[in-house]
Amino acid sequence: MTIPTITLNDQHTIPQFGLGVFLMPPPETRQLVRTALELGYRHIDTAAIYGNEEGVGRAITESGIPREELFVTTKLWNNRQTDAPAALHESLDKLGLDHVDLYLIHWPTPRYDTYVGAWQSLEQLQAEGLTRSIGVSNFHQEHLARVIAEGSVVPAVNQIEVHPTLPQFELVRFSNDLGIAVEAWSPLGRSADLDAAEVVQIATALARTPAQVILRWHIQRGLIVFPKASSRERLAENIDIFDFELDDAAMLALNGMASGRRVGPDPERFNRH
């Protein structure tokens, strides 16, 4: 099984599929990440606020997989936007790494208006080699336009909520037109989209599972995904999506599920520190 890669605007490559560890309890993270690595996962998406960077780091060390074969993302939490260098050093210490592959501003938190300064700090951290690539998360058009206008590096990625009921066609197009790759968080709608009639019908016809059908929809849209799962069976199911394709009719049916339903906060209003 070969996981496709995407070349980012800074010429680094990112595996298009990986594991997300949001809401993974710290004591279980080490074992679940180890299991994922055994199953062939090579891309892990964590964040300082998830509280489980140590578990990710221990699993990486114990796996014995060469560092250059892994892609590790972590994120700058909102109350550290004026303090990004120290925050990244803390994350690296917890991960046991000397660099991450991707460092993201987690949310724009517009009320504080500190994300442009944070972006300039990330540019410096990238220049110092502490992160290979830099990007943003939960950024809308206006936030992207500001960091591009006031910074000197175009974000490599924008990580946003995307799933069939929130397909984000406009923001994906806007980001891609700027050369920014899109990562889809909560790709399964935190499992809420799995029971939808359209999904179940396509899965039944293809003898695949609803999760596999939704993940294929993301992959065929060119999005980067890292579903979270808590058992070996689900981890194995989710990565087993590279030997089939959805046809145009199936893609259109899933595209038609848009309802605007979010499972997470609206970035315009999310200002938690």
Active-site residue numbers? Answer: 50
Report, in Å, the least distance between residue 249 CB and ligand NAP: 23
Rounded Cα gap, residues 223 and 180, in angstroms: 11
Q: Which of 30, 171, 238, 241 binds ligand NAP (CB under 6 A)?
A: 238
Q: Is 101 in the site for ligand NAP (CB under 6 A)?
A: no
SS3 169: helix
Residue of 91, 90, 156, 76 whose CA lies nearest to 121: 76
Answer for which of 88, 185, 208, 254 binds ligand NAP (CB under 6 A) is 185
Q: Where are the alpha helices (DSSP H) in the chain?
A: 26-38, 53-63, 84-95, 115-127, 141-150, 169-177, 197-206, 210-221, 232-239, 248-255
With CB under 6 A as the contact rule, the residue among 146, 190, 232, 262 that binds ligand NAP is: 190
Report which residue type is found at 190. R
The reply on whether position 187 binds ligand NAP by CB under 6 A is yes
Q: How far is the CB of 34 from ligand NAP (least distance, A)?
A: 16
For the chain, state the CA radius of gyration.
Answer: 18
Q: Beta strands 13-15 and 5-7: pairing type?
A: antiparallel
- Give whichever of 87 and 211 is closer to ligand NAP, judged by the CB atom: 211
Q: Are 136 and 104 in contact (CB under 8 A)?
A: yes
Q: How far apart are CA 25 and CA 2, in angstroms?
A: 29
Residues between 197 and 226 that touch ligand NAP (CB under 6 A): 209, 211, 226
Minimum CB separation of residue 119 from ligand NAP in Å reads 16
Whether 254 and 164 have beta carbons less than 8 Å apart is answered as yes
> Binding marks (x or -) toward ligand NAP, 64..93, rule CB under 6 A?
------------------------------
State the nearest-atom distance from the C-beta of 231 to ligand NAP, in Å. Answer: 6
Identity of the residue, 167 or 227, whose beta carbon is nearer to ligand NAP in the bound complex = 227
**Which positions lie near ligand NAP, rule CB under 6 A?**
20-23, 45, 106, 137-138, 159, 185-191, 194, 209, 211, 226-231, 234, 237-238, 264
